[in-house]
């Protein structure tokens, strides 16, 4: 079968149409998701392969996107090894006993296949369904710095005071923490590819909280190690962060195949900053809340800024917002497929 447009675009090759998928395309914005999930814990849903596979497939069927992304969460491997992670509705990941001292390193044991058997079972189910249409599945993980932010802070934060104190006051301990997270992340990504994921995204959601010097010293080396640790798998890799406009050139040096660009930077400027590397992005998710006409106008602006150079995947500049009307996203997908020009032969 011909390689899908999504994978070709990630590699900077010519495509039949501009590919599109959405971060958080599965989830709270879909009525079929809410009907299936109810009010249960997201970690409970992820632990049930039948539910997780169905949720993964729902947006593929509804939107006609060019890739599925595994229904999971960046804290799944850390929940699986017993670090004491929960995902609290309306708040996010919460750690019962945050990382504070060298003794906590022992709590970050190596990830074993049996720890994430529910994830691999989900992937197996999804691949069975996707194979009929040759639609690729994207596996993913949290980048070490973003995961460390949760484990050290103990909960979502806007200040990042605890982790920045650890970084600067105890850099050797921070480096040991990052090395443990690198090993777990590589293992988690590799098992996803072993079961059929054909691309990988590394979410460094909180990298934008760092200065350039901090990113270069404390985040980039671990990110590079993760990407090097999956390079032999020969699948495209996407590195994405929020508020990272001033870091894009550094992110582009980390050897991912693609750099994701959030909505804070115009796409043409983002492409300039990554110096020709394939990019993904970057419609502001809020532009999808005002109805179809406003969303399509904003989509056309993004496509115009993408230009005609190969190496472009349309996406939002962050995840789908819960209040988004699915019909609006359906219209965005149609427009991108019909009017996108980047790399179209």
Catalytic residues: 24, 28, 37, 73, 150
- Strand partners of residue 260: 240, 280
d(CA 285, CA 110): 36
Residue 21 near residue 65 (C-beta atoms within 8 A): yes
CA-CA distance, 160 to 206, in Å (whole number)? 9
Q: How far apart are CA 298 and CA 287, in angstroms?
A: 7
- In this structure, are residues 334 and 300 in contact, taking their beta carbons and an 8 Å threshold? no
Identify the residue whose tokens are 């032969």: 345
Specify whether the CB–CB gap between 17 and 6 falls below 8 A: no
Half-sphere exposure for 211 (CA within 13 Å, toward CB): 6
Question: Residue 285: how many CA atoms within 13 Å on its side-chain side?
Answer: 19
Say how far apart CA 341 and CA 76 lie, in whole Å.
37
């Amino acid at each position: 079968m011909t390689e899908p447009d999504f994978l070709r675009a990630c590699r900077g090759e010519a495509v039949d149409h501009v590919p599109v998928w959405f971060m958080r395309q599965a989830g709270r914005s879909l009525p079929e998701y809410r009907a299936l999930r109810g009010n249960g814990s997201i970690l409970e849903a992820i632990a049930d392969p039948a539910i997780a596979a169905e949720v993964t497939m729902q947006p593929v069927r509804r939107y006609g996107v060019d890739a599925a992304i595994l229904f999971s969460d960046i804290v799944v491997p850390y929940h699986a090894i017993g670090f004491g992670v929960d995902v609290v509705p309306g708040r996010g990941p919460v750690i019962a006993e945050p990382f504070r001292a060298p003794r906590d390193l022992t709590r970050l044991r190596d990830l074993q296949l049996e720890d994430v058997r529910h994830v691999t079972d989900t992937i197996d189910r999804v691949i069975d369904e996707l194979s009929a249409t040759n639609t690729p599945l994207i596996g993913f993980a949290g980048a070490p710095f973003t995961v460390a932010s949760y484990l050290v802070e103990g909960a979502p934060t806007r200040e990042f005071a605890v982790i920045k104190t650890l970084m600067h006051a105890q850099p050797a301990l921070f480096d040991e923490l990052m090395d443990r997270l690198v090993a777990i992340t590589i293992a988690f990504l590799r098992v996803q590819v072993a079961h059929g994921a054909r691309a990988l995204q590394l979410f460094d959601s909180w990298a934008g909280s760092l200065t350039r010097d901090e990113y270069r010293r404390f985040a980039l080396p671990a990110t590079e190690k993760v990407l090097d640790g999956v390079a032999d798998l020969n699948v495209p890799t996407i590195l994405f962060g929020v508020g990272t406009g001033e870091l894009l050139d550094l992110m582009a040096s980390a050897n991912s195949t693609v750099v994701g660009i959030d909505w804070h930077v115009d796409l043409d400027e983002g492409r300039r900053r990554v110096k020709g590397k394939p990019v993904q992005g970057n419609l502001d998710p809020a532009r999808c809340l005002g109805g179809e006409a406003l969303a399509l106008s904003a989509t056309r602006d993004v496509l115009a800024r993408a230009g005609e150079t190969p190496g472009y995947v349309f996406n939002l500049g962050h995840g789908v917002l819960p209040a988004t009307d699915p019909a609006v996203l359906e219209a965005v997908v149609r427009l991108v497929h019909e009017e996108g020009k980047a790399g179209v032969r």
